[in-house]
Amino acid sequence: MGTARLDQTTRLHAGEAVMKWMLACGVQRREGYHHIDCAPGCRPDEIADLLSPAWWESKENGSVDEIVIEHFLEHVPHQLPDRYAHGTIMRTPEDGLVWFMNECYRVLKSGGTMEVAYPHHQCHAAYSDPTHTRFITEHTFGYFDALLRPVRGHGHYPIDTDFEMSNRKSYGLLDHASHLSHPERALELEIMAREHWNVMWECRIWMTAHKPARQP
């Protein structure tokens, strides 16, 4: 199932295959992407458990041009489930999100991009979903930037990535704040979202993978 659709979603660009993944896609679809999800009912191109080290180990280094992932990172557990431990309790040195981001970075090509959508941390939806394991802010992604980690005193963290966050961002606004969506009101929106709850429900950021990692 995955292989047949994989041929359709791999395009040629400058003589090279272009591979774009949409991870934990659910029922969302984008033209030209390879859709991956654990739920057969969503009819993805490939059925896979994204928390399985075995699945990631089957993927080649530097083989993917773009990864899109929407509303999944907040569900990643701090420890991988015991079902991957082969009879023993699995305790990786990394937090689950660190492990996941390390794997995304590994499979991305140099210059590859990652688009991430996640709940705004000051929205009730971030807190009310019982399957959420963590809160994510824009500053979370600074931990995955090789230049920012040592500056912020996190150079000793077991993180192998160098993701540079773009200035490009977008936000999903709750209805009562929709009048702030115009670009000219961006500063007003930023202040309101910082000082009040339930202004934004979603944040979306874009990052570029640098390989080899930049040196501070």
- Point out the least confidently predicted range of 95-104, 121-130, 170-179, 198-207: 170-179
C-alpha span between 23 and 26 (Å, rounded): 9
pLDDT number for residue 92: 54
Contacts of 189 (CB under 8 A, 6+ apart): 171, 173, 177, 180, 181, 199
3-state secondary structure (DSSP) of residue 52:
coil
Say how many Å lie between the first and final Cα of the chain, rounded.
44
Higher pLDDT, 110 or 178: 110
Higher pLDDT, 88 or 111: 111
Tell me the pTM.
Answer: 0.84
**Backbone torsions φ then ψ of 62, nearest 5 degrees:** 60, 40
Q: Are 114 and 209 in contact (CB under 8 A)?
A: yes
Place of tokens 């509303």: 71
Residue 15 has pLDDT above 60, yes or no: no
C-alpha span between 55 and 66 (Å, rounded): 18
Q: What type of residue is 1?
A: M
pLDDT number for residue 16: 60
pLDDT per position as a tens digit, 149-176? 999 999 889 899 999 999 988 888 888 8
C-alpha span between 149 and 159 (Å, rounded): 9
Chain-centre distance of CA 80, in angstroms?
Answer: 17
**How many alpha carbons lie under 13 Å from residue 134 in its C-beta half-sphere?**
17
pLDDT number for residue 149: 95
Q: Which residue segments constitute the domains of the chain, with CATH numbers given? A: 49-209 (3.40.50.150)
C-alpha span between 119 and 135 (Å, rounded): 8
Average pLDDT over residues 107-136: 94
**Backbone torsions φ then ψ of 132, nearest 5 degrees:** -75, 140
Average pLDDT over residues 20-38: 96
